[in-house]
Amino acid sequence: MTMLVDDASRAWFDRAQRVTPGGVNSPVRAFRAVGGTPRFFTSGRGAIVTDADGNDYVDLVCSWGPMILGHAHPEVRDAVEAAVARGFSFGAPSITEVQLAEEIVARVPEVAAVRLVSSGTEATMSAVRLARGVTGRPAIVKFAGCYHGHSDALLAAAGSGAATFGIPGSAGVTAGAAADTIVLPYNHRGAVTAAFERFGDQIAAVITEAAAANMGVVPPEAGFNEFLARTAHAHGSLLISDEVMTGFRVSRGGWQGMAGPVGDEAPDLFTYGKVIGGGLPVAAFGGSEQVMSQLAPLGSVYQAGTLSGNPVATACGLATLRNCTEDVYTHLNRAAHTIGQLAGEALDSAGVPHQVRTAGNLFSVFFTDQPVTDFESAQQQDTAAYARFFHAMLDGGVSLPPSAYEAWFVSAAHDDDTIERIAAALPAAARAAAEVPA
Ligand SMILES: *Cc1c(COP(=O)(O)O)cnc(C)c1O
């Protein structure tokens, strides 16, 4: 196989490593999970990204979701350029932040009000604080393998034994910060019931990804989210549905609009990010008027941000959402389905054990033929086979997520031509995955 020239990326990576830990501003970008040199991108247009050596790739990362319309979409660019011309930030109320909030509220009946922030981490951290403020309780339940950003309380790992309080999931997280987090296995109702039986009167909220997609894509089993809401509500706790990944990617109303339960089985708080900024830093959390009115300045739960609701970022998010028509969602569903199917067929032909798991138009390929329903089973996959597959795809001009534990993302710009390029790269990558390393 011909290896692409990566001299410029290597040179930039050397420079980056001198001034930035690991050469990156977010760890997965460093390629540690797959080895090799990360590509430094210089431009993107539609479904294609170009690196510092001038190589083109079909992009199946899409900035981890935000580039739902493709890179440098003309109407989004126009909106951002117009916003830039009006000034970058006022630290005072402005127009587009109201319009973006209206756009979000119009999409989700359970969300009467939103507060805009600048990252998914801030959204989930603030939603947890709000849930604690509303209930007056300290503990939260999260699931192993679900990612909710990197605030201390949400970087907890499971303690030993069922239904115990968490231990720090990172150096620098205190035992105290992790001790209020109960970490349970995803999709395990019995563990949730047991945790609520023991600690129900201390639990402020359960936080879950609407569909888990940060351990690879692991959809909730039928009725699981409804069960979480019922269990939480029976104990006076809230359910936080983290839609930072699914929000307005899987449908016009996010996961809630596609598969979300209603009434007493609906979540109480929702978090958004990624798509709602269209590639600029915007995230949000929202819920009923009653819950959201507990936030400052109306209520006693403090939360703030110098750049929250930034006019350029919200103009980008607003233009992105307005261009996400029903046709776009139909296209995303079809493209995701086709690419998942092509990958599955290529791996079948090469005899590589695998399974494609999907949640709406989110999907990922697990290199195992064992069922994957939670983090423990996700970890049975052959990550070395994924690394070989990843690099062969990269050499074939397709940029996949540099980790086996990530979703693959498509955009409205992934057209038939793009899909043909993916199809052309797959057979060699599947053979590379099948190779038993010497
Ligand atoms: C990406 C992600 C976050 C964190 O968002 P950042 O903007 O990276 O801080 C939180 N929750 C989920 C489900 C995510 O996918």
Whole-prediction pTM: 0.97
131 lines ligand 1 (CB under 6 A): no
275 lines ligand 1 (CB under 6 A): no
In ligand 1, the atom with minimum distance to the C-alpha of 273 is 7
148 lines ligand 1 (CB under 6 A): yes
- Report the pLDDT value the prediction gives residue 162, as an integer from 0 to 100: 52
In ligand 1, the atom with minimum distance to the C-alpha of 209 is 13
149 lines ligand 1 (CB under 6 A): yes
Q: Residue 272, CB half-sphere, CA atoms under 13 Å: how many? A: 34
C-alpha 149 – ligand 1 centre gap (Å): 5
The protein residue with its alpha carbon nearest to ligand 1, atom 6, reads 120
245 lines ligand 1 (CB under 6 A): yes
The protein residue with its alpha carbon nearest to ligand 1, atom 8, reads 120
d(CA 206, CA 182): 9
Closest-CA residue to 241 (of 288, 285, 283, 274): 285
The alpha carbons of the chain give a radius of gyration, in whole angstroms, of 21
206 lines ligand 1 (CB under 6 A): no
The protein residue with its alpha carbon nearest to ligand 1, atom 15, reads 245
In ligand 1, the atom with minimum distance to the C-alpha of 120 is 5
C-alpha 344 – ligand 1 centre gap (Å): 27
C-alpha 206 – ligand 1 centre gap (Å): 17
Residue 59 in 3-state DSSP?
strand
In ligand 1, the atom with minimum distance to the C-alpha of 119 is 7
392 contacts 1 by C-beta, under 8 angstroms: yes
C-alpha 122 – ligand 1 centre gap (Å): 9
Chunk the chain into consecutive blocks of 10 residues (it has 438) and report each block's average pLDDT, rounded to whole numbers. Answer: 84 98 95 95 98 98 98 98 98 97 97 98 98 98 96 85 74 92 96 96 98 97 97 98 97 94 92 98 98 98 98 98 98 98 98 96 96 95 97 98 96 98 98 87
Instruction: List residues with catalytic annotation.
Output: 147, 242, 274
Out of 245, 250, 256, mutate this one to test ligand 1's pocket (max ligand atoms within 8 Å of CB): namely 245
Q: What DSSP line would sit under 209-253, residue for residue?
A: ESSB-SSS-BPPPTTHHHHHHHHHHHTT-EEEEE-TTTTTTSSTT
242 lines ligand 1 (CB under 6 A): yes
- Report the pLDDT value the prediction gives residue 158, as an integer from 0 to 100: 76
Q: What is the DSSP letter of 109?
A: T
d(CA 169, CA 154): 8
C-alpha 7 – ligand 1 centre gap (Å): 32
